[in-house]
Chains A and B, each alone.
Chain A
Amino acid sequence: MVQWWKALELDRASKKPLYQQLQALIRSRIEDGGLSESTKLPASRDLAAQLGINRNTVTNAYEELTKTGHVRSHVGQGTFVSESASSVPSPLRWSYSKAVQGARGRVRSPSEATSHPDPIDFSSLVPDERLFPVEPFRVVLDAVLEREGKKLLQYGPAAGHPPLRRYIAERLTKRGVRTTTENVLIVNGSQQALDLICRTLLDPGDPVVVESPTYTIILPLLAQYQAQIDEVAMTPRGMDLDALEAQLTHSRPKLLFTMPTFHNPTGITMDLASRRRLVDLAARFRIPIVEDDFDSELRFKGEPVPPLKALDEQGCVAHIGTFSKGLFPGLRLGWIVAPRDVVLTLGRSKLISDYHTSLLLQAAVLEFCERGHYSQHLSKLAVIYLQKSRKLIGALERYFPKGVSWTEPEGGFAFWVTLPEKISAEAVLAESSVDGVIFTPGSNFFARGQGKRFLRLSISRVPLEHIEPGIKKLGATIERLLDREMDEETSGTGPREQEPALHI
């Protein structure tokens, strides 16, 4: 018989101690039946020499195996596989809930795909921490800790810190929303808002309307809640309401998700007339609307449009807001504004999710806002992002070939580019990432992976001076792919798959 122990392989780079690795290797051999009862294990000295490890390591591993009953040792005779070892229960095989199995894995971000050490990044929508007002926040945090620290390190109410709830209600009142403190629930960012809404309202199989394209992370979330996803296309005026109305006449969705302002990924803002029509449709067909208003505060030009919630007379709209885009994402602070009974029920879901959101951070952000720092910061962002957006549009006009079009948002970070039908964003990314320019391919934002000719450019983190060189490279890549496409067409390569035409 081949000496089985010569094949044992230890991973010296692992943080797991060698004796534990050895113990696990031998144990799995015993449990797999690879080592039968009463088999004698090699003497610790021999095994140590064979594996090039310390003898104590082997002794320790044997001791552990003795403790778990896998082996027994007899003084003067050596160590043997126990007779009962085969009945030692084997480690568990974890099996996950269907809900979790149903959720798709995380979308791979383009920055993980590139080998370039320092790419020009048009992909990330993460706010740029170089702009964070850290110093005033530090001062505010210390002030609230000094003033009421002992209270803020304690548990708090599930619905949120009452003064912050009141502040958010007042802020929304200024935007035309009729609301009070009781309509506000504080949550851990807009992601938790979405999760609590799904948890509170969806049963498996419920149909849910989303925009197509839509926010990447809503899709796995809906899959996890086993919702049936119905897509409604985007138009330059927001969600296609004709298509929606047609759909509503024959099916009643449980929820409708929309980002009417600076939509992610397209940057489109729904106009006022369309907003009124959407709210009317929701009231007429009794469909709750989830208005994800995550970045409306990042307006850098044009006039604000009232949120859907301001037009909502029949309590159809749950409005989600967050401090993650305009202030600090790391605080995980957001809110839901909804009819009172809905907020009460959502609050119960919040309680069994994590009791409540950090009281300390709620108080700190409130103080920060009340001292005027938040408004100042938003004004500063508006100046910077107006500049960046102008730079981007200028560069797109100059360097992108004919046949490419894009949206021109008045706020937020996302610009949506439509390529000529012949080429796909993935193909562009494959080449541009080598040149050090990355962005997000459009197919990430569609429930069924369609949308190959779209891409999203984000101006969130890219420095102003990198915009033009980045777009220049990207334009050249697109041009190159188009040329190649023409060559292939003239040389008569087979037919290609037709992308459905979208309105954008």
Chain B
Amino acid sequence: MDTQTTDFSRRMALFEPSRSVTEILDLAERPDIISLAGGLPDPAVFDLDMVRESMDRVLRDEGAAALNYGPNAGYGRLREWIAGRMEERCGVPLSPENILVVSGGVDGLNLCAMALIDKGDTVLVGAPTYMMALHVFRTYEAHIVPVPLDEQGIDPDALEQRLSELDQKGVRPRLLYTNPSFQNPSGRTMDLPRRERLVELCRRYQVPIAEDHAYGELVYDGEALPPLKALDPENVLFIHTFSKIFGPGVRLGWVAAEAAFIERLGLCKLGTDQCANTLTQRLVHDYGTRGLIDVQVKRSIELYRSKRDAMERAMTAHFPADASWVHPGGGFFFWVRLADGTDSEALLRRAIEEQKTAFVAGPPFFHDGGGSNYLRLSYSFVREDQIEEAIQRLSRAMTA
């Protein structure tokens, strides 16, 4: 058996094996390793008793309907609840027709890419950016144009320059992908004037924005800033996930966009997997309408803020003087810059083998190389009482 060689499609050659992602998940499982690699939530934020209560209620009261196919765009009452919550929290006026329930944030991104990108189309991303976004765009054979970040995320001057160069060549990018709040991997956040400028630029050059809000609710310092979606409701595709506000195990998220666009995305979803699974949509709806998502977000903020502070203290105490980072006001990550010339991938191997500590090296977050002197350290999953130990181990690996 297994003798026939398979000809894969061209697009499969365009993204390297996503080893980094699977390795992250594998490492988190190994008991002997302290992992600062994965962007996994801390299971302590899950309120299992309340989840069981909601699940039980859904199956008792709506059992059969909760287990059959649901509407392609998602469970109506969940769409309604999402629209209402976004309006309340972010000031974006939305109706249920503006919401497509998807199977997690990556599904949302994949569907948007499917709807908008043809082979050779230009897509703008941050350098660095979320590595899964790069993989998704590569499979659609997009021409990826990275834009450097400064301390607040995508640098608007650099963006304007890219847009104007592309415009002179007659190229209109099909999408700008960005995490304006607590970016993965850099943890950086755009302030309000930055957001306004970005939205204005994209509108001027007629480039839709895909705004990934995955970490947007996990605000540890000060007030949440309005998402780009609130600044330009028409031109922003807003992608959010339940992974960081409920739990990744249900694989649910949503896209908020103009109703006509949502309808097209729904057709794409029909082809990819028909609809998000019905049962966990109803579970999340029940849990959410009981106010428990908001409670969980509050609990998560307390927990992660404390872990972030612990990690920052440890890094200040133990890291070499030339290590630097921008203090993240929320989210899951520190993005640490080491001395130029550092090979973070070699460092990672040393850290795992000699120090039993894992993180993610910088290069996979860049489309065209670079970033080898950066590390992404996640404080979300690691136990708080292991953080200092982990940072000490990493310091040892750095100075070895």
- Chain A contact residues, CB within 8 Å of chain B: 15-17, 20, 89, 91-100, 103, 105-106, 126-127, 129-130, 132, 134-135, 137-138, 141-142, 145-146, 149-158, 178, 187-189, 191-192, 195, 199-204, 206, 217, 220-221, 224, 254, 283, 286, 288, 312-316, 324, 328-333, 339-342, 345, 348-349, 351-361
Q: Which residues of B contact A97 (CB under 8 A)?
A: 114-118, 121, 140
Q: A195 and B273: CB pair below 8 A?
A: yes
Bound CA span A408–B95, Å: 48
**Given contacts A154-B248, A200-B12, A203-B9, could you give 4 more A-B pairs where the C-beta distance is less than 8 Å?**
A149-B46, A195-B272, A199-B9, A353-B110
Q: A149 and B274: CB pair below 8 A?
A: no
Q: A314 and B280: CB pair below 8 A?
A: no
Contact flag A188-B59 (CB < 8 Å), given A129-B64, A339-B6: no
Bound CA span A103–B276, Å: 20
Q: Which residues of B contact A202 (CB under 8 A)?
A: 9
Bound CA span A224–B117, Å: 12
Q: A201 and B273: CB pair below 8 A?
A: no
Bound CA span A135–B278, Å: 17
Q: Which residues of A contact B121 (CB under 8 A)?
A: 97
- Determine how close the nearest CB of chain B comes to the CB of A389; give it in whole angstroms: 22
Total number of B residues with any Cβ neighbor in A under 8 Å: 89
Q: Which chain B residue lies CB-closest to A348?
A: B18
**What are 11 contact pairs spanning A and B, CB under 8 A?**
A106-B267, A137-B59, A141-B56, A154-B43, A158-B22, A199-B139, A201-B6, A312-B1, A331-B279, A332-B274, A339-B2
**Candidates B103, B267, B280; contact of A100 at CB < 8 Å:** B267
Q: Which residues of B contact A187 (CB under 8 A)?
A: 273
Within 8 A of A (CB), among B235-293: 235, 243, 246-251, 258, 260-261, 264, 267-268, 270-280
Bound CA span A360–B25, Å: 17
**Candidates B68, B93, B200; contact of A17 at CB < 8 Å:** B93
Binary flags per residue of B120-154, CB closer than 8 Å to A gives 1, else 0: 01000000000010011001100000000000000
Q: Which residues of B contact A331 (CB under 8 A)?
A: 67, 277-279
- Chain B contact residues, CB within 8 Å of chain A: 1-4, 6-12, 15, 17-18, 21-22, 25-26, 38, 40-41, 43, 46, 48, 51-52, 55-56, 59-60, 63-70, 93, 95, 102-104, 106-107, 110, 114-119, 121, 132, 135-136, 139-140, 200, 203-204, 206, 208, 234-235, 243, 246-251, 258, 260-261, 264, 267-268, 270-280
Q: A355 and B235: CB pair below 8 A?
A: no
Q: Which residues of A contact B114 (CB under 8 A)?
A: 97, 99-100, 224
- Determine how close the nearest CB of chain A comes to the CB of B392; give it in whole angstroms: 27
Q: B6 and A342: CB pair below 8 A?
A: yes
- Determine how close the nearest CB of chain A comes to the CB of B200; give it in whole angstroms: 8
- Determine how close the nearest CB of chain B comes to the CB of A373; give it in whole angstroms: 13
**Candidates B95, B208, B251; contact of A92 at CB < 8 Å:** B208
Q: B267 and A330: CB pair below 8 A?
A: no
Q: Which residues of B contact A316 (CB under 8 A)?
A: 4
Contact flag A200-B25 (CB < 8 Å), given A154-B43, A154-B247: no
Bound CA span A18–B69, Å: 35
Q: Which residues of A contact B56 (CB under 8 A)?
A: 138, 141-142
Q: A189 and B273: CB pair below 8 A?
A: yes
Q: B271 and A153: CB pair below 8 A?
A: no
**Candidates B9, B38, B93, B135; contact of A200 at CB < 8 Å:** B9
Q: B3 and A152: CB pair below 8 A?
A: no
Bound CA span A358–B114, Å: 22
Contact flag A152-B271 (CB < 8 Å), given A132-B63, A352-B18: no
Q: A254 and B7: CB pair below 8 A?
A: yes
Q: Which residues of A contact B4 (CB under 8 A)?
A: 283, 286, 288, 314-316, 339
- Determine how close the nearest CB of chain A comes to the CB of B136; give it in whole angstroms: 5
**Candidates B3, B46, B268, B280; contact of A358 at CB < 8 Å:** B280
**Candidates A146, A156, A189, A354; contact of B107 at CB < 8 Å:** A354
Q: Which residues of A contact B248 (CB under 8 A)?
A: 153-155, 355
Q: B279 and A134: CB pair below 8 A?
A: no
Q: B68 and A132: CB pair below 8 A?
A: yes
Q: B21 and A351: CB pair below 8 A?
A: yes
Which 8 A-B pairs give the minimum distances between C-beta atoms? A330-B278, A153-B247, A134-B63, A129-B64, A138-B59, A188-B273, A328-B67, A192-B273
Q: Which residues of A contact B268 (CB under 8 A)?
A: 100, 103, 224
Q: B272 and A192: CB pair below 8 A?
A: yes
Q: B43 and A150: CB pair below 8 A?
A: yes
Q: B117 and A351: CB pair below 8 A?
A: no
Bound CA span A153–B42, Å: 10
Q: B277 and A188: CB pair below 8 A?
A: yes
- Determine how close the nearest CB of chain B comes to the CB of A142; give it in whole angstroms: 6
Q: B104 and A354: CB pair below 8 A?
A: yes
Bound CA span A466–B156, Å: 66
Q: B264 and A360: CB pair below 8 A?
A: no
- Determine how close the nearest CB of chain B comes to the CB of A33; give it in whole angstroms: 18
Q: B272 and A353: CB pair below 8 A?
A: yes
Bound CA span A178–B2, Å: 11
Q: Which residues of A contact B6 (CB under 8 A)?
A: 201, 288, 339, 341-342, 345
Q: A153 and B43: CB pair below 8 A?
A: yes
Q: Which chain B residue lies CB-closest to A178?
A: B1
Q: A358 and B277: CB pair below 8 A?
A: yes
Q: B67 and A129: CB pair below 8 A?
A: yes
